[in-house]
Each structure stands twice: as C-alpha cells, then as structure tokens.
Chain A
Amino acid sequence: MARYLAGRIAGLVLILFLVCLFTYLIFFELSPDPAVMICGKTCTPERVTQIRTILGIDQPFLTQFWNFLSGLFAGRDYGSGANLVHCPAPCLGYSFQTNQSVWQMVLSRLPVTATLAIGAAALWLLAGITTGLLSAVKEGTWWDKAAMNLALGGASVPNYVLALALQYVLVVKLQVLPFPSSVAFTDDPGLWFQSYLMPWIVLATGAACLYARLTRANVIDTLAENFFRTARSKGLAPVLTMRRHALRPALTPIVTIFGMDFAALLGGALITETVFGLNGIGKMAADSIAKNDQPVIMAVTLLAAFFVVVGNVVVDLVYTTLDPRVRIR
C-alpha cells in the first residue's frame, strides 16, 4: 500500500511539473506582450522595454521557468532597494495587472469556490442518487419514465441559460431571492444561503441528471445479478438487500466519476461564478486570461491540475476500500 501510494504521489508531482512547463511554454511562445497592455495608451518603446525588465519577461525561457519553480519551493525576491519585496514560499509571484500576491489572491478566492463545490456536490449527490435509485426500483413505471426524461432535459440545459433564467424568475420577477453576492457565512448566514442557493442549483442540475441516469443503470444491472437474487431468496429484508447488496456495488463507478467532477469544480466554476458575480477561482481565471496576467493564469492552471490529480488519487484509494476486488495488499 505504501509503495503504491509513493508511486502515485511521484506520478502526481511529475504531472504537475509538466503542466507548469507547458503552461509556461505556451505563455512564453504564444501570448501577446503583457508589457504593452500595462504600458497603456501613451507609450514609448523604451517604456515597454523597461516594463519587460521589471516583470522579468526579458529573461530567457529556462531562467524564467527556473525562477518560477524555485520561488514555488523556496520563495524569491522581487525588485531592489526600497522597492524590495520578499515573496515567501509557496511563491506564485505577483499579478502583472494589480501587483497583488497571487498566493493571497488564491487564498482569498478559494473559500467561494469551495463553498460552491461542496454545496453543489451535496445537492447533486442527494438528488441524483435518490432519483436514480427510485427509478431503478420502480423501473418501467410512469415515475421512472418521467424522472429519466426530466434528467435528459436537465442534462442538456447549458449552465449559463439556467443561471440567467433562474435569476430572472426568482430574483427579478418573483423577488424571492436577493441578487447573489460573495458574502461570508460568518457575516450573514441567511444571506449566505440565499446567495449560494441559485449557483448550487445551477451547478448541481447537470450533474444530478447525469448521476440519476448512471445510478439507475448501475442499480438495474446489479438487481439482475445472481448474488442479489441469492440474497433476496435467503429472505433478507428488502431494505437491507438494497443497501448492502445493490447500492454498494452500484455506487463504485459513481464514486469514481464524483471524485473527478468534484475536483474539477474546485478548480473553478467559470461560467456560474461569472454570471452570478461570485469572486471565486473560476472568475479569477476568466479575468486573468482576458487581461493576459501570466502569474495568475499559471496559478489557476496549476491549482486546477492539482485538484484533478489529487482527486484521482483519492478516488483510487476510496475505490479499493469500496470494492474488495481491486483491493491492494
């Protein structure tokens, strides 16, 4: 087990390194010059050169990349004299646009994205698995048909359409909810819940529909298995057979897909955050790309990759406990 884990972690580090390298390479080779954008309207070629020096983007690729990597683990210094700033590890640099510490930006925005992801995940797991299970048990009934058709419809509505429609109906027309804001739970729990309700529903809808269909299919498969028939014929209580013999094997694929979905969501819900004006990682990604803010782009890319890779490792570990067939000794 320890060896397995060590191997996975080594792979994780390698993948993150490659993500760093390629993101840096793309920026270095393909992106427009950030110095021109910073320089503004009345600009001179000398000033552009000066800004490039200050940003450190006049250095050769390997030097820049090494500075970035070493800053990540050991921290680094920016500027000189009275303008000297030490950026402690993990140093993701300073935003080209706002001079803010990128690490601080990530820390201040992560709670918003985490709140979104956890709330949405809870909602879609509950709604998706419940609906799927009911449909499987009542296979072929009107409930099953209605639920699955609804799920198909729900999965096909794009996020931004649902977000705008919900906001229009619930906030503008019916006025049952306020316009969402990135309020902290500790400041105003009521407003916090009301603010996040719509984003949760928007993020959960598509996934819930998918999970309902997946759960239904898996449970129906399991119900037809020999071991399940044996359990039933032994005279076990229906609730117990469902929980122990049908649900557990049916849920293993769900765990796999959930781990990856949830990890991806932690990397930022770009559209939902933008539409509802929630300042999470996704909005930060969108803004940084629009402004060609390389240190921030690096950070959000790295963060998203980190969550996905770690999510996969966690899924594998959980999988081994859920399913004895793939257990590692």
Chain B
Amino acid sequence: MRRSTAVIGVTLLSTLTLTSCTGASGTSSNGTGTGSSSAPATGGTVHVLAAADFSHLDPGLGWDGGVNNFYRLIYRGLTTVGAGPGAESTKIVPDLATDLGTPTDDAKTWTYHLRDGLAFEDGSPIDSAAVKFGIERAWDPEMGGSPYPKELIEAPADYKGPYRSGDLDSIETPDAKTVVFRLKKSFPDFPSALTMPNFTPFPKGTGAAHAFDTKPVASGPYKVASYVHGTSLKLVRNPEWKASTDKVRAARPDAFEWTFGLDGATIDERMLAGQGADADAVNTTSSIQPATLSRIQTPQLKARTLSGYGGCTTYMGMNTSRTHLSDLRVRQAIEFAVDKDTVVAALGGSRLATKATAIQPPTMLGRTDYDLYPHSVAKARQLLAEAGLSGGFTLTLDNRPDAKNTALAVAIQEALKPLNIKVKINTIDTSSYYEVIGTTAKQNDLAITGWCPDWASGSTFLPPLFDGRRITPTANTNIAQIDNDAINKRIDEIAAMKDVAAANKAYGALDKQIMTQAPVVPLAYEKTITVTGSNIAGAYLSASFSGGIDLVSVGLKDSGK
C-alpha cells in the first residue's frame, strides 16, 4: 500500500511536468516592426484580445466607442468617419451614399443617393427600402442606441417602429437608390448624425426580437462566422461586399477573431510576450494597465506602442443649485485651487493623460485652447475671502470606488485643503453611480465623471452638459445644473447656423464662455496607450472610437505566418 501510493504520486507529478514541457507551441517573436507605418498585407487572421464582450451586435442597441469600431467591419451606413490617423479619424465621409447628401428647405430635408452594386450578405440589394427600414427600427421601444433618429427625423408621436407601426412617411424612397429624410427642424450637421450605428440599413422585415444580437445581417466586408457570447467571435469575409463600392475600409485580413473575458493584466502579458498567434493580435478595447507602463521601454516594444487621445474629457461637476456652490466666486476659487499636475499624476502620469483646461478635448473640431484658471492658491483664497467664506466649509464629492477615481478624488481633496474646504468623499457603487448623480434630488455637491462626444462637434458635447432647459429630475446629464440665459441663447443661435465649420468654431468660443461661469472643473484628457502584436501593420488610433485601433484599416505585415 505504502509503496504503490507513493509511486502513483510520483508518476502523476512527472506526467504533469512532461506534458507541460511539450506545451510550448509558440514561436517567440522579436518585434522589430514599426507598427503603423507599413501597409498591411492581404489575408491572414487578426486576433483581438478583449476584457469584455460587446454589449450588442445589433447596432440598434449597441452604442459606445468600442462597439462602434467593431460595427464598421460588418455594417455600413450612409456616411461614416474617415479611416486614418489624426484629424482624418474625425472627418465625416460618404459610405453607402455617393456624397454627404443634399440639404434643401433650410437643411430640413436631406436627399441621399446610393452607390451601385451594394448587397447584404444574403445577396439582397442594399436599396433605399433597406435604408428606410433600418432607420425605422430606432423607434421600436425595445431598441436603444443613439437618440438621433428620434430626435431629428419627423415622426408621429405614436410611431413605434416598423415591427409594430409599419412605415414611417417622413423617410421617402422615390426610387430604389434615393432616400429623402424630412427632419423636425433644420439640422445642417445631419451627415454627422448619420454615422451613428442605429442608422444602419437592414433587409426589410428582418431583425425582430433581438435577432441581430446573435445573427447580424452584414453589409460590410465581414460577416459573423461564429459567436459564443462572452467567449469568442469570428468574422470571415462577406463575399457580397465589393471593395470598389467602399472608399473607407481597407479590409486586408481574411478573418478577425476575438477572445473575450480576459483579465486586463493577462492581456498585457500576452501582448508583451507575443507568443504564437498573439503576434497577430491587437487590444482595441482598453489601455494597458498603469503597472505595465514601465515595462514598455525597450525599442522593440516602443515600436509596437500606439498612444493617442481617447477623445473624452474627465471633469468634476459643481452642483450650482447647492448653498455654497451657487456662488460664482466659490466655484472660481475651486477652479484656481485644483492642481491639474496632481490630477495627471493621479491618472498615472503624462503618458496616460494631459491636463484639461477647456471643456472639450483636443480631438474636437473648432476647439480653442485656453486656460482661464491657471493654478493659484492665492487667487483662490482671495475669491473665497470676497465671498466671505475664508473660514471654510464642507463639500460632498460623489465618486466611484475604483482605483483611478479614488486617486482623482484624493487629489481634489488635497487641493481644496488649503482653502479650508473639507471634501467628504461619498463612494457610490459603480453600477448605480450614474443613477445617483443623474437624479437631481440625490446628487451632492461635486461629482467626478466624464463625457465623450458622439462625433467631433461641440453640438454633441456642450448642449447635453450645459443647456439649462435639459435639466431633468432623473437621467440628468447637466450635473452642474447650470441654467444660464446667455449660454442657453447662444446654444440656440449656434444650432441655427448653416455652416457646420462655423458652428463648430462657435462652440469652441462657447466653451470658453461657459467656463467663465465655472460650472465644471475640466480635469484631464485621458490617453489610450496600447501595444500591438509584432506582426500587426496599418494600426493607428481613431479619435472617433475612444482611441481604439481602427479595425477597418488594421492587418498583418506577413499574412503567411
């Protein structure tokens, strides 16, 4: 008995060791690549390592930077954003349409013509009826996504989408290739709104009961080959897509493969190690962990590193309806007191964030850079003295419990200490955070949050946050609760402007005008920093997709590996 069990134990151990020795299947790569500069080869499979699965494959439901990026591989819209680094990534370009549309009737009516030779993966044509049907889906009560179809296009109040209410008359289809939209009001920036995923066309009658969440109908260069929710997703080429009809998507690889549910630290280890198929991998959803930052110093790893703005602003809202914060001088004192350098340090240093002085991030069109409140404790003290509050008071800061937000909250707490302002941090669970700060009755004095635009125009940034008429008891986004007549009036004036570029410039100026009222403290513009596999080519970060690697352009250097 004694001997036999001992032998079993030893045998087991040695089996484990032996098997594990034969386990090394990967060829470790010596990444000498230059990342984005070389053009990708055609073919091969790009692997994507991701922490979480997509919210929805149905573009009528999903709507965030990560999933919008993915949607472009399988879906096309009338317009989309440019495929290129820098400013190109925020430019609006035609996609299924021949141009950006013809506005008539004071930009209340928009006419689009479709390109030739367009078809869905099932072979049916992408015609005006498909465009109309796809957009009508947005009115179905079970759909989510961006508010723009319902906000902009004229519709009867009781219209509930094509599955329940049939056709919508305000989207006209005079012929198979022409679509005419009748809007509620003049909207010169309509081509930008059309880039939102819930303007995606679908064959008439498809997609009821969340069918697209498991089996989408592709219009883009790829279609879903297999999908195990939360685990993996494989895309293969959609043979009905023709490169000649598409000026945006390079679509070099033959396939894409996602692995979901990976731990953030594990993704970093895999990307740095680059074993086997990981050399062909990218990580599009998240930045590397701050702890990994110090490890990407070698020239090989630096060559594989991409960095850029996420296109959002992290800010602290000051609830202007509260006792002390209703005083402009108090808010301005806080603006002067917050040390942005400590804020950036709290976010992991200058490689992960730069300090914010304007409300809109640098990726916005027409933005102006300015700093109304350079760090000065003396000025802050003087303003508080004028307000008669030198003796100090207490403010409550609503915050989420994760490491990053905790570090930010502590930085604010420290910054306001010299003013005798005691900041009490009210930690709220992440899942209920927005419910609390979006309910005016539950919201406290200060709250750290962020905003990303829907496209790079001030119209999707400043009005939701600072239009006083948008304050609602629940689901409120104007967390400063600022209702300033001059700001409201200017928002209306800019919305009526016919020239989109001039409007964006005006939003840049409005940004500064709003900051004179000090409703928020812009804290930082956070950056995305990511390491690509050594065999990846054509990778750049797109400001339209929260700084993710633009999937329609990425590919492999050597597709035969």
Contacts and interface: CB of A to CB of B under 8 A. Distances in A.
Q: Do A and B bind each other?
A: yes
B32 interface: no
A31 B432 CA distance: 8
Given A32-B429, A43-B475, A126-B8, A164 B19 contact: no
Contact of A42 (B262, B432, B464): B464
Nearest to A195: B23
Contact of B20 (A32, A176, A279): A176
B431 A82 contact: no
Interface stretch (B227-235, B365-373, B545-553): B227-235
Contacts of A243: 1
Interface string B444-480: 0000000110100000000010000000111101000
A171 interface: yes
Interface in A165-205: 167-168, 170-172, 175-179, 181-182, 190-191, 193-194, 197
Interface string A91-131: 00000011110000100110000000000000000110011
B230 A171 contact: no
Interface string B196-231: 000000000000111001100000000000001111
A221 interface: no
A316 to B, nearest CB: 29
A231 B454 CA distance: 82
Given A275-B263, A279-B230, A50 B141 contact: yes
Given A137-B2, A176-B21, A277-B261, A45 B473 contact: yes
A276 B1 CA distance: 37
Contacts of B147: 42, 44
Nearest to B6: A134
B213 A79 contact: no
Given A172-B269, A277-B266, A197 B213 contact: no
Contact of B213 (A36, A83, A100): A100
Contacts of A15: none
B229 A32 contact: no
A42 B146 contact: yes
Interface stretch (B270-278, B349-357, B415-423): B270-278
B229 A105 contact: yes
B158 to A, nearest CB: 13
B265 interface: yes
Contacts of B278: 179
B1 A238 contact: yes
A326 interface: no
Contacts of B262: 277
Interface residues of B, number: 70
A283 interface: yes
A38 interface: yes
Interface in B38-90: 52-53, 55-56, 61, 63-64
A54 B144 contact: no
B421 to A, nearest CB: 29
A39 interface: yes
B29 to A, nearest CB: 12
Given A97-B55, A99-B213, A130 B144 contact: no
B164 interface: yes
Contact of A54 (B142, B231, B275): B142
B282 to A, nearest CB: 16
Given A32-B429, A32-B431, A194-B20, A81 B5 contact: no
Interface of A: 31-33, 36-45, 47-48, 50, 53-54, 79, 81-85, 97-100, 105, 108-109, 126-127, 130-131, 133-134, 137, 164, 167-168, 170-172, 175-179, 181-182, 190-191, 193-194, 197, 238-239, 242-243, 274-279, 283-284, 287, 290-292
A79 B229 contact: no
B518 to A, nearest CB: 23
B475 A44 contact: yes
A197 B435 contact: no
Interface string B140-159: 11101011000000000000
A91 to B, nearest CB: 15
Nearest to A200: B16
A81 B477 contact: no
Contacts of B438: 36, 43
B155 to A, nearest CB: 15
Nearest to A278: B261
A31 B231 CA distance: 27
Contacts, number: 173
Given A167-B269, A176-B24, A130 B9 contact: yes
A48 B474 CA distance: 9
Nearest to A177: B23
B209 A85 contact: yes
A49 to B, nearest CB: 9
B559 interface: no
Nearest to B231: A279
Interface in B148-191: 163-164
Given A36-B438, A108-B228, A127 B9 contact: yes
B388 interface: no
A329 to B, nearest CB: 33
The 4 closest A-B pairs by CB, nearest first: A32-B432, A82-B163, A239-B1, A43-B475
Nearest to A108: B228
Contacts of B214: 100
A137 B2 CA distance: 9
B1 A170 contact: no
Interface in B273-323: 273, 275-276, 278
Contacts of A79: 142, 209
B163 A83 contact: yes
B434 A176 contact: no
Contacts of B275: 175, 178-179
Contact of A36 (B20, B141, B435): B435
Given A45-B473, A175-B275, A40 B144 contact: yes
15 contacts: A32-B429, A36-B438, A36-B475, A43-B475, A45-B474, A85-B210, A98-B213, A98-B229, A108-B228, A109-B230, A127-B12, A134-B6, A178-B275, A194-B20, A194-B23
B430 interface: yes
B458 to A, nearest CB: 15
Given A84-B209, A292-B431, 16 more contacts: A33-B432, A37-B435, A40-B63, A40-B64, A41-B477, A42-B464, A98-B213, A99-B61, A108-B228, A171-B269, A176-B20, A197-B19, A242-B1, A275-B266, A287-B261, A290-B430
Most chain B beta-carbon neighbours within 10 Å: one of A164, A175, A238: A175
Contacts of A181: 259
B374 interface: no
Contact of A133 (B5, B260, B434): B5
Contacts of A42: 146-147, 454, 464, 477
A177 B64 CA distance: 35
Most chain A beta-carbon neighbours within 10 Å: one of B6, B147, B452: B147
A260 B9 CA distance: 25
B26 interface: yes
Nearest to A36: B435
Nearest to B58: A99
Contact of A45 (B8, B263, B475): B475
